[in-house]
Structure 1
Amino acid sequence: MKKIHVVIITGLSGSGKSTALQALEDIGFFCIDNLPVILLPKFIAMTLQSSPEIKQVAMVMDLREKNFTERYELVFERLKKKGYKIEILFLEASEESLLLRYSVTRRTHPLSPTGSITEGIQTEVEKMSS
């Protein structure tokens, strides 16, 4: 059975995860944004069964999934033990850059939908550091 090369893109909101995902798609990766980590093993199994031509997948997984930090380590370790190549690409940016990006896009921060962008960034940094 062929194994799939899996690249997980994660990091701070506004750090360029979507751009990185698009770049991987441009070089032939099958890409998904915001797949819940708990679905990753099922996704890989279904892909192997129904689409054997897919050899490389990339996906963005981050704190938009409420329990991401509690689940990802166990899921990734189980997949590695089964022989899958799992690479993690963690993206970050300075607070100044993130604030500038949010001011340009006028989007709310996913961890502070009603609060300040700065508070959202700080909350995300704290959660990703743990």
Structure 2
Amino acid sequence: MADPTTGSGPEPDGMTPVKPEEAELLVVTGMSGAGRSTASDALEDHGWYVVENLPPQMLGTLAELVSHSPRSISKLAVVIDVRSKDLFADIRTALRALAASGVTFRVLFLDASDNVLVRRFEQGRRPHPLQGGGRILEGIAAEREILRELKESADIVLDTTSLNVHGLATAITELFSETGPVALRLNVMSFGFKYGLPVDANFVADARFIPNPHWVPALRPHTGLDEDVSDYVMAAEGVSNFVERYVLALEPVLDGYRRENKHYATIAVGCTGGKHRSVAVAVELSRRLAQYPRVTVTTTHRDLGRE
């Protein structure tokens, strides 16, 4: 007979109880205006228990409660921001204490370009929490300095510059809606160097060594998603060898990410405009990386369609 004080013993109808998995703890932070509220709503939609505006000093206490009862709250997201600057200063201390106590957690950092953040604040007709009597840009600069070390140590940096509300919700779904053991999630992104480097890229590969289909009249109107362009790019001298060696070079990195509990990385592949070469190479890299066990791969093309 089960002991009602411990919850042990057989489940109803003779089912054997399943040992609860370790609770997941996600710390959500980042720049004001980068989409924390949207991310919180998306996480709640996928079964996360979200606590917003938690003082960092309480993070350890909350994590301890959850770790002792993973059945009741298996996925906890804690949203912390800089609205209370004095309290936020303790977040690094709180995270170091969590790591020292053995609690497994990840940090999601949301970011966006200064121009986009300014536009979002202006559209919302609200001041930046750190601007005081100054300009919005001054508040953003102050916040970037406070968050600089936290961003550098974050497990996942998600750039929301080009994402609307629905796009951000989709990105959160792709990252955090899966059940079971957390896989290593890779985003292979094509981009155009003339539009700037992706700010959230962990690795950048340069595909500009490949002959450019732009100079082939029959291929110019097409993209790297089209078979004729893809075949042209992959058949160029050295390309297949480059892709094969690049994937092999990533193998120890992926293993190291798993050991260090880093679950997300962006691999960016660039060409001049992000239309032909980088797109074809990104698709091929994604295909090969998706063959590895416990790896989930998404492919995005940041600049496809831009003039």
Shift of 1:2: 6.4
TM-score by length of 2: 0.39
Contact 2:63 2:103 in 1 (8 A): no
Q: 1:106 to 1:12 in 2, by over 3 A?
A: same
1:85 partner SS: coil
User: What is the Cα deviation at residue 118 of structure 1?
Assistant: 1.2
* CA drift at 1:70: 3.5
Asked whether 1:91 is paired with 2:107, we answer no
Q: Percent of pairs identical after alignment?
A: 35
Name the aligned partner's letter for residue 96 of structure 1: N
Cα pair 1:5 1:84 within 8 Å, conserved: no
State the Cα distance separating 1:100 from its structure 2 match. 0.9
Give the match for residue 74 of structure 2.
55
After alignment, is 22-31 or 57-66 more displaced? 57-66
The 5 Å alignment of 1:1-130 reads: 3-47=22-66, 52-68=71-87, 70-130=89-149
Higher deviation after alignment, 52-61 or 6-15: 52-61
Shift of 1:104: 0.8
**Shift of residue 8 of structure 1?**
0.8
**Max Rg structure:** 2
Q: TM-score, normalised by structure 1?
A: 0.86
RMSD: 2.2
Q: Tell me how far apart the structure 2 counterparts of residues 60 and 109 of structure 1 sit (CA, whole Å).
A: 18
Post-superposition shift, 1:25? 0.9
Partners of 1:6 and 1:79 in 2: how far apart? 11
Q: Does the aligned pair in 2 maintain the 1:16–1:91 contact within 8 Å?
A: yes
Q: Is the 8 A contact 1:25 1:31 kept in 2?
A: yes
Unaligned stretches of 5+ residues in structure 2 = 1-19, 150-307
- Residue type of the alignment partner of 2:96: E
TM-aligned CA deviation for residue 47 of structure 1: 4.3
The Cα of 1:4 is off from its aligned counterpart by 2.7
Cα distance in 2, alignment partners of residues 25 and 2 from structure 1 = 19
Contact kept, 8 Å, 2:34 with 2:111, in 1: the verdict is yes
Range moving further from structure 2, 59-68 or 90-99: 59-68
- Contact 1:62–1:68 at 8 Å: present in 2 too? no
What CA distance in whole angstroms lies between the structure 2 residues aligned with 1:67 and 1:4?
Answer: 29
* Structure 2 contact 24–76 (Cα < 8 Å) conserved: yes
- Asked whether the 8 Å contact 1:4–1:84 carries over to 2, the reply is no
Corresponding pairs, count? 130
> 1:1-46 CA deviation, whole Å, 9 max, x = no partner?
9643111111110001111111111111100111001001122334
More helix by percentage: 1
- The answer (yes or no) to whether the contact 1:17–1:60 under 8 Å persists in 2 is yes
Q: Which 10-residue stretch deviates more, 82-91 or 31-40?
A: 82-91
